């Protein structure tokens, strides 16, 4: 059998290579589209026209006949008479009506022809199929996309169709990038062909064949749960990147109340709009996901998320605005406020309580931890727990000293900007994800400092640890420069101050080259905890305000370390000691 039409030939080849060699109704519409093309209407456009909503079988035939050339008629006759293919009853009647051999049968419920299969298949060995000759094939794995930093249009070019429109791409050539990270049985692949003029086919979605043992992914960082203030929890997909794979089944369970909500992921890997289930701020919501095969009973939870307070509750008189990096385009906070109800102090203020948040204010926690280490009573006296006289709600009055020594009081509550996944965004203490347990003194102190200075942005772009030592103690500071003061003088000053319980900080140079692989970080402030001599060597004792990442390797990764004085003098630029 010889087929001359370049659109019909790959269709016939595909049937000839299939195991069934059957032409059914869904394949007939591809044949009709191939012959319906004409000057001014491509086969792809014809296919779209043939699938218009409401089109009848008679109209489909008429559309195909309008574009049928003499050569194409001969090719369809060859398919009917010489191919040896099997035909479904409907398909045979349609093709015979097309070439004028029979009347189209429209009775007995014969509706329009169904859309064709894509002609593209995938399994663990690769992706193969037929599109148009020379087309570039681009694809994205929608099942592995939720774990990647991708939008659904971030496709990867995986190959090219040959002169007959056919392509066979093995797994190794199509995988290995974020868009096509893998080709695993059950994965949903979204694929299309691109012509030289830049136009594309419609998206084709297909599942990778084989035994599906890999469940759908779910990215918890892309879902925000918020108390709407009227007894329900709103679910918001907070980014344009996919939350899960299209069609995934989702179950959200309020672990406190037992209420549950089922949903099906949209074709874009999102959730339907306006999803709500009963609950309130602080509730834990379990999330189960299934691709329809794995975890199909939705009994196994993938993750648990925390319901946040209503983000509309920022009180400009009470809550300092976030850093500009955490403001949305409309000026509202990216992260809602959440009320923390833990104890103000647990075992008193300690340096180990202090954890710098995702804000450029290392000078503040470094100084605060230094004061907590040497003079914890100063911090205990600086923060007083009270009740709001109007609302009765819990508040904290915090004392700072201005540079001139004047005492100033700032009142804040313990509502902190919080992520659904990970706790407060700014400074924390241990147990940060537990609103009832997290010790409050450090984040409350930081919030009060931000309010005193104007906002988190005002305190989040660098500063002087010495100014914070003064703000907390009311005392001025002495400054030592490692470039001009001797190692002996600095060691003696630090040692004496340690004995006298005077808070100290040290800063590093703003020289990135100097710090690679040292365990010390440039342009950074540290708490100085004292000095010691052992084994004939002199050491400065330090703490990183991150609460982790230190020089040396004592196995603890808790931010505490010591440096020999010579190394300290090289890596650190200055020391500030409270008077």
Q: Indicate whether 464 belongs to the interface with another protein (CB under 8 A).
A: yes
Among the residue ranges 17-25, 176-184, 287-295, 532-540, the one whose residues contact another protein (CB under 8 A): 176-184
Is residue 444 within 8 Å of residue 353, measured between CB atoms? Answer: no
At its nearest, how many Å lie between another protein and the CB of residue 544? 9
Q: Indicate whether 270 belongs to the interface with another protein (CB under 8 A).
A: no
Q: Indicate whether 473 belongs to the interface with another protein (CB under 8 A).
A: no
Q: Which is nearer to another protein, 29 or 529 (CB)?
A: 529
Among 115, 267, 462, 533, binds another protein (CB under 8 A): 462
Q: Indicate whether 554 belongs to the interface with another protein (CB under 8 A).
A: no
Q: Which is nearer to another protein, 393 or 511 (CB)?
A: 511
Q: Indicate whether 483 belongs to the interface with another protein (CB under 8 A).
A: no
Q: Indicate whether 525 belongs to the interface with another protein (CB under 8 A).
A: yes
The angle subtended at Cα 128 by Cα 123 and Cα 131, nearest 5°, is 145
Q: Which is nearer to another protein, 481 or 533 (CB)?
A: 481
Among 546, 560, 561, 568, binds another protein (CB under 8 A): 546
Q: Indicate whether 465 belongs to the interface with another protein (CB under 8 A).
A: yes
Q: Which is nearer to another protein, 93 or 224 (CB)?
A: 224
Site for another protein in 325-384 (CB under 8 A): 355-363, 366
DSSP 321: P
Among the residue ranges 294-302, 344-352, 400-408, 515-523, the one whose residues contact another protein (CB under 8 A): 515-523
Q: Indicate whether 560 belongs to the interface with another protein (CB under 8 A).
A: no
Beta-carbon count within 10 A of 490 CB: 24
Structure tokens at 105: 């049968």
Q: Which is nearer to another protein, 362 or 375 (CB)?
A: 362
Q: Indicate whether 430 belongs to the interface with another protein (CB under 8 A).
A: no
Backbone angles phi, psi at 496, to 5 degrees: -65, -40
Is residue 243 within 8 Å of residue 143, measured between CB atoms? Answer: no
At its nearest, how many Å lie between another protein and the CB of residue 71? 42
At its nearest, how many Å lie between another protein and the CB of residue 65? 47
What is the rounded distance in angstroms from the CA atom of residue 50 to the CA atom of residue 47? 5
Is residue 379 within 8 Å of residue 441, measured between CB atoms? Answer: yes
At its nearest, how many Å lie between another protein and the CB of residue 115? 34
What is the rounded distance in angstroms from the CA atom of residue 186 to the CA atom of residue 194? 25
Q: Indicate whether 153 belongs to the interface with another protein (CB under 8 A).
A: no
CB-based burial label for 258 (10 Å; 0-12, 13-18, 19+): exposed
Q: Which is nearer to another protein, 3 or 459 (CB)?
A: 459
DSSP 439: -
What is the rounded distance in angstroms from the CA atom of residue 578 to the CA atom of residue 473? 8
Site for another protein in 85-124 (CB under 8 A): none
At its nearest, how many Å lie between another protein and the CB of residue 367? 10
Q: Which is nearer to another protein, 207 or 323 (CB)?
A: 323
Distances, alpha carbon 74 to alpha carbons 50, 69, 164, in Å? 22, 9, 20
Q: Indicate whether 574 belongs to the interface with another protein (CB under 8 A).
A: yes
Nearest one of 89, 87, 105 to 97, comparing CA atoms: 105
Q: Indicate whether 523 belongs to the interface with another protein (CB under 8 A).
A: yes
- Mind spelling out the 3-state secondary structure of 176-206? CCCCCCCCCCCCEEEEEEECCCCCECCCEEE
What is the rounded distance in angstroms from the CA atom of residue 309 to the CA atom of residue 228? 8
Distances, alpha carbon 217 to alpha carbons 11, 186, 248, 494, in Å? 36, 12, 9, 53
At its nearest, how many Å lie between another protein and the CB of residue 117? 32
Q: Indicate whether 422 belongs to the interface with another protein (CB under 8 A).
A: yes
Q: Indicate whether 510 belongs to the interface with another protein (CB under 8 A).
A: yes
How many residues are given for the chain?
A: 579
What is the rounded distance in angstroms from the CA atom of residue 146 to the CA atom of residue 296? 19
422: CB partners within 8 A, 6+ apart = 432, 433
Site for another protein in 210-269 (CB under 8 A): 219, 221
Among 461, 476, 489, 554, binds another protein (CB under 8 A): 461
Among 129, 159, 193, 463, binds another protein (CB under 8 A): 463
What is the rounded distance in angstroms from the CA atom of residue 545 to the CA atom of residue 299? 42
What is the rounded distance in angstroms from the CA atom of residue 414 to the CA atom of residue 438? 11
Matching residue, tokens 């593209």: 120
- What is the size of the binding site for another protein (CB under 8 A)? 49
Residue by residue, DSSP assigns 100-115 as: TSSPPP--TT--PPPP
Among 211, 299, 406, 513, binds another protein (CB under 8 A): 513
Q: Which residues bind another protein (CB under 8 A)?
A: 147-149, 176-178, 181, 219, 221, 355-363, 366, 422, 461-466, 479, 507-508, 510, 512-513, 515-517, 519, 521-525, 546, 548-549, 553, 555, 557, 574, 576
């Amino acid at each position: 059998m010889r087929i001359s039409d370049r659109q019909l030939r790959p269709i016939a080849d595909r049937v000839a290579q299939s195991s069934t060699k059957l032409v059914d109704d869904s394949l007939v519409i591809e044949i009709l589209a191939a012959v319906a093309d004409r000057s001014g209407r491509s086969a792809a456009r014809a296919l779209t026209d043939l699938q218009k909503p409401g089109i009848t079988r008679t109209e489909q035939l008429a559309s195909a006949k309008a574009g049928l050339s003499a050569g194409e008629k001969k090719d369809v006759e060859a398919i009917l008479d010489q191919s040896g293919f099997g035909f479904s009853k409907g398909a045979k009647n349609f093709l015979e009506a097309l070439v004028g051999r029979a009347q189209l049968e429209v009775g007995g419920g014969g509706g329009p022809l169904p859309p064709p299969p894509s002609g593209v298949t995938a399994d663990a060995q690769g992706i193969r199929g037929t599109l148009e000759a020379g087309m570039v094939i681009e694809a994205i794995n929608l099942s592995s996309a939720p774990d990647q930093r991708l939008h659904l249009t971030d496709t990867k070019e995986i190959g090219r169709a040959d002169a007959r429109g056919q392509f066979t791409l093995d797994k190794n050539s199509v995988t290995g990038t974020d868009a096509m990270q893998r080709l695993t049985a059950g994965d949903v692949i979204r694929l299309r062909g691109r012509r030289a003029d830049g136009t594309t086919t419609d998206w084709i979605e297909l599942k990778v064949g084989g035994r599906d043992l890999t469940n759908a992914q779910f990215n918890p960082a892309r879902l925000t749960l918020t108390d709407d203030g009227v007894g329900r929890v709103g679910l918001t997909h907070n980014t344009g990147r996919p939350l899960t794979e299209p069609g995934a089944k989702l179950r959200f369970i309020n672990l406190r109340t037992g209420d549950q909500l089922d949903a099906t992921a949209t074709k874009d890997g999102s959730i339907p709009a306006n999803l709500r289930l009963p609950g309130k701020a602080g509730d834990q919501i379990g999330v189960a996901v299934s691709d329809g095969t794995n975890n199909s009973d939705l009994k196994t939870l993938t993750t648990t998320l925390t319901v946040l307070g209503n983000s509309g509750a920022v009180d400009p008189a009470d809550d300092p605005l976030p850093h500009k990096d955490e403001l949305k385009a409309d000026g509202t906070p990216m992260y809602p406020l959440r009320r923390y109800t833990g104890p103000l102090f647990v075992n008193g203020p300690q340096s180990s309580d202090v954890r710098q948040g995702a804000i450029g204010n290392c000078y503040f926690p470094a100084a605060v931890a230094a004061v907590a280490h040497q003079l914890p009573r100063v911090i205990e006296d600086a923060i007083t727990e009270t009740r709001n006289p109007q609302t009765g709600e819990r508040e904290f009055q915090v004392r700072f000293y201005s540079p001139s020594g004047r005492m100033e009081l700032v009142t804040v509550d313990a509502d902190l900007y919080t992520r659904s996944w990970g706790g407060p965004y700014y400074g924390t203490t241990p147990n940060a994800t537990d609103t009832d347990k997290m010790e409050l003194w450090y984040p409350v102190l930081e919030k009060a400092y931000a309010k005193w200075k104007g906002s988190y942005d005002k305190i989040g772009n660098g500063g002087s640890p010495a100014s914070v030592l003064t703000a907390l103690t009311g005392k001025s500071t002495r400054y030592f420069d490692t470039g001009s003061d001797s190692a002996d003088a600095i060691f003696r000053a630090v040692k004496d101050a340690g004995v006298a319980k005077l808070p100290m900080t040290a800063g590093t140079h703003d020289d990135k080259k100097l710090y690679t692989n040292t365990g010390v970080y440039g342009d950074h402030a540290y708490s100085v905890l004292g000095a010691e001599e052992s084994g004939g060597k002199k050491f400065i004792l330090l703490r990183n305000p991150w609460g982790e990442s230190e020089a040396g390797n004592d196995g603890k990764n808790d931010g505490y370390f010591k440096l020999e004085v010579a190394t300290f003098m090289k890596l650190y630029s200055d020391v500030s000691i409270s008077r």
